[in-house]
Amino acid sequence: MRKDDCIFCKIAAGDIPSNTVYEDERFRVILDLNPASKGHALVLPKNHADDIFDLSEEDRASVLSVAARVAAAMKKALCCSGINIVQNNGESAGQTVKHFHLHIIPRYDGDSAMVLWNPGKSDPEEQKKTAESIKAALE
Ligand code: AMP
Ligand code: ZN
């Protein structure tokens, strides 16, 4: 299903041109317009979903295998030494386009692409409670 005012729906459908590196029935993989590194790509489902919570079960089940295929091709074609797979949900997480997408970011030794967080300290009791609350909320 498409959403009328969604730019990634238009790109995924091929109505807006893109640098496509892979396409199948469900997905189009394009190069990011503002790449963090050479080859930075986005996996776009052709069916609109706002974010991971909205993604169909079929797309959820196959999105990682598409990403893994493209990532393997990047290693061959671009000789990158590492790859980050990143996926943002919600403004606080840095999502700027409300159509689910998975970033595939090739990494090169000494590059300046930043996909990092500040490692915090964990309290064992707090961790236990946090794990319990997530487990209890699993459906
Ligand atoms: P996010 O911050 O996770 O929502 O990522 C959105 C990404 O989409 C950013 O990396 C943008 O550079 C990229 N982007 C936005 N518009 C386009 C476009 N028209 N074509 C390709 N990439 C785009
Ligand atoms: Zn869309």
Q: What is the pLDDT of residues 18-50, one digit of tens each?
A: 999 999 999 999 999 999 999 999 999 999 999
Report if pTM > 0.85: yes
Domain that includes residue 103, residue range = 7-138
CB atoms within 10 A of CB 36: 18
Return the CATH number at 110. Answer: 3.30.428.10
Q: Within the chain, what is the greatest distance between any pair of CA atoms?
A: 53
Cα(5) to ligand 2 centroid in Å equals 8
pLDDT in tens, 70-105: 999 999 999 999 999 999 999 999 999 999 999 999
| Nearest-10 Cα torsion for 6, 11, 16, 18 | 140
Q: Is residue 97 part of a domain?
A: yes
CB-ligand 1 contact for 95 (6 Å cutoff): yes
Question: Is residue 139 scored above 80 in pLDDT?
Answer: no
Cα–chain-centroid distance for residue 35? 13
CB-ligand 1 contact for 64 (6 Å cutoff): no
Residue 48 annotated among the catalytic residues of the structure:
no
